[in-house]
């Protein structure tokens, strides 16, 4: 079975992390997000995959090529202008002549796709949508069904007063190719807001496949941190074999006086100085340097991040080539874009987001 993965969104809510790369290429445990998704599909025997791209497509193509090193076969489609979720799959029509899968490219799950495909076939549905329970359905597409699981209503991003169920569209679909005939070509169309509503109005059989498997939409920096923590803490064991320990990449040098409290993943070629404290769950990308006496807890650092002496990082994200100088503090849910330089003696409070390449002068931010 073929799969179309939608990886064309701009990842607006994840800025500044998505200023220079797409959401699909953001590192999760030091591998691009999309690599995890491809491995998941491969485990279910789905190896013929079409990537529907728009925003910054070249990084994806350069990294994955024809897919061989990930064990899948990739085809690429680039939309000049984003075509929306239905427009993107319509654009892939020439590849799709039998039942196929469609996935949002920003979900992390171990939902049983094989069982979902069987469920779809048994019911002779035109569309089967995976649904999962969430605490806050207002950020998602709400799906109502009858007692037999047949979909009776879609409500995209409802207000709290409209919420009738906590089961939402999980962004995994099994679809029949006939539905593509209903989508106008070369137009921006939303499958959630338009195509599914039209199919429903025509009385077409659409079913919800319920799952309580691990599921997360990596839509915000908070969710991105949560995903890294969950995986390190072993909350999705079939997706990542968390050792619960400290994993250290080749060529890394750790001073014997450093205290590292699991679970921590350290990439290749890192240098950890004297008296450094690292408390998990924490991820250090390759080539990070942490100077003497610095303290890091619950952080995700990308490639080549430099942390100065006695700096403190807590529950934050720093993208490629950031520098946090001596005695500076970067606190809860702060997000630093690529190449941000935080001069010494600054204190970035909760939730601060700094755009790529910005240099913060020493001692200029104190709360």
Binding site for Mg ion (CB under 5 A): 106, 217, 219
Of residues 48 through 67, those in contact with ligand GDD by CB under 6 A are 52-54
Contact partner, 308, from Mg ion, ligand GDD, none, Cβ < 5-8 Å per class: none
Pairing of strands 100-104, 167-175: antiparallel
Q: Any idea which residues carry the catalytic annotation?
A: 157
Q: Is 107 in the site for ligand GDD (CB under 6 A)?
A: yes
Q: Could you give the string, one character per residue 332-361, with x where binding to ligand GDD holds by CB under 6 A and - elsewhere?
A: ------------------------------
CA distance 315 to 92: 40
**Per CB under 6 A, 102 contacts ligand GDD:** no
- To Mg ion, the closest distance from the beta carbon of 95 in angstroms equals 23
Residues 187-216 that bind ligand GDD (CB under 6 A): 192
Long-range (24+ apart) CB contacts under 8 A made by 337-343 are: 337/15, 337/16, 337/17, 337/19, 337/20, 338/16, 338/19, 338/20
**Residue 54 contact, options Mg ion, ligand GDD, none, Cβ 5-8 Å cut-off depending on partner type:** ligand GDD
Applying CB under 6 A, does 104 fall inside the site for ligand GDD? Answer: yes
Shortest approach of ligand GDD to residue 65 CB, angstroms?
19
Distant-in-sequence, close-in-space partners of 310: CB < 8 Å, separation ≥ 6: 292, 293, 294, 295, 326, 327
Which residues on adjacent β-strands are paired with residue 261?
A: 279
* Nearer to ligand GDD among residue 169 and residue 303 (C-beta): 169
Binding status of residue 249 toward ligand GDD by CB under 6 A: no
Q: How far is the CB of 75 from ligand GDD (least distance, A)?
A: 13
Q: Candidates 3-11, 57-65, 115-123, 266-274 — which segment interacts with ligand GDD by CB under 6 A?
A: 3-11
108 binds ligand GDD (CB under 6 A): no
Contact of 281 with 262, CB cutoff 8 Å:
no
Please say which residue, 53 or 318, places its beta carbon nearer to ligand GDD.
53
3-state helix, strand, coil in the chain (%, to 5): 25, 30, 45
Q: Which of 122, 182, 176 is nearest to 150 (CA)?
A: 122
CA angle at 331 for the pair 328 and 337, rounded to the nearest 5°: 80
**x/- site string to ligand GDD, residues 11 to 50, per CB under 6 A?**
----------------------------------------
- Which residue lies nearer to ligand GDD by CB, 9 or 343? 9
Helix (H, G, I), strand (E, B) or coil at 14: helix
Using an 8 Å Cβ cutoff, are 199 and 182 in contact? yes
Stretch (H or E) spanning 154:
strand 151-156
- Angle of helix 57-64 relative to helix 33-43, nearest 10 degrees, comes to 50
Per rule CB under 6 A, is residue 171 in the interface with ligand GDD? yes
Does 217 bind ligand GDD (CB under 6 A)? Our answer is yes
Nearest approach, Cβ of 231 to ligand GDD (angstroms)?
18
Residues in the interface with ligand GDD (CB under 6 A) total 26
């Amino acid at each position: 079975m073929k799969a179309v993965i939608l990886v064309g969104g701009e990842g607006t809510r994840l800025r500044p992390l998505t200023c220079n790369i797409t959401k699909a290429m953001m590192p999760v445990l030091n591998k691009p997000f999309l690599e995890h998704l491809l491995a998941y599909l491969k485990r279910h025997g789905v190896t013929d995959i079409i990537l529907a791209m728009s925003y910054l497509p070249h990084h994806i193509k350069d990294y994955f090529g024809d897919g061989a090193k990930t064990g899948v076969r990739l085809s690429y489609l680039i939309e000049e202008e984003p075509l929306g979720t239905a427009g993107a799959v319509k654009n892939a029509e020439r590849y799709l002549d039998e039942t196929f899968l469609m996935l949002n490219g920003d979900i992390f799950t171990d939902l049983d796709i094989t069982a979902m495909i069987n469920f779809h076939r048994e019911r002779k549905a035109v569309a089967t949508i995976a649904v999962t329970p969430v605490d806050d359905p207002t950020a998602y597409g709400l799906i109502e069904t009858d007692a037999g699981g047949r979909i009776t209503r879609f409500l995209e991003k409802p207000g709290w007063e409209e919420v009738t169920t906590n089961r939402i569209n999980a962004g995994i679909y099994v679809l029949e190719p006939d539905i593509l005939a209903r989508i106008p070509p070369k137009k921006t169309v939303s499958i959630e807001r338009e195509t599914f509503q039209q199919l429903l109005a025509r009385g077409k059989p659409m079913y919800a496949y319920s799952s309580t498997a691990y599921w997360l939409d990596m839509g915000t920096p908070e969710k991105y941190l949560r995903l890294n923590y969950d995986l390190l803490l072993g909350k999705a064991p079939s997706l990542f074999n968390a050792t619960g320990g400290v994993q250290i990449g080749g060529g890394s040098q750790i001073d014997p006086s450093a205290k590292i409290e699991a679970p921590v993943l350290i990439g290749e070629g890192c240098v950890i100085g004297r008296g450094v404290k690292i408390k998990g769950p924490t991820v250090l990308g390759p080539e990070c340097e942490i100077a003497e006496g610095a303290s890091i807890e619950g952080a995700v650092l990308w490639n080549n991040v430099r942390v100065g002496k006695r700096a403190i990082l807590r529950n934050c994200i720093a993208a490629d080539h950031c520098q946090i100088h001596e005695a500076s503090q970067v606190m809860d849910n702060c997000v630093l874009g690529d190449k941000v330089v935080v001069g010494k003696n600054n204190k970035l409070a909760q939730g601060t987001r700094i755009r790529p390449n910005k240099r913060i002068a020493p001692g200029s931010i104190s709360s």
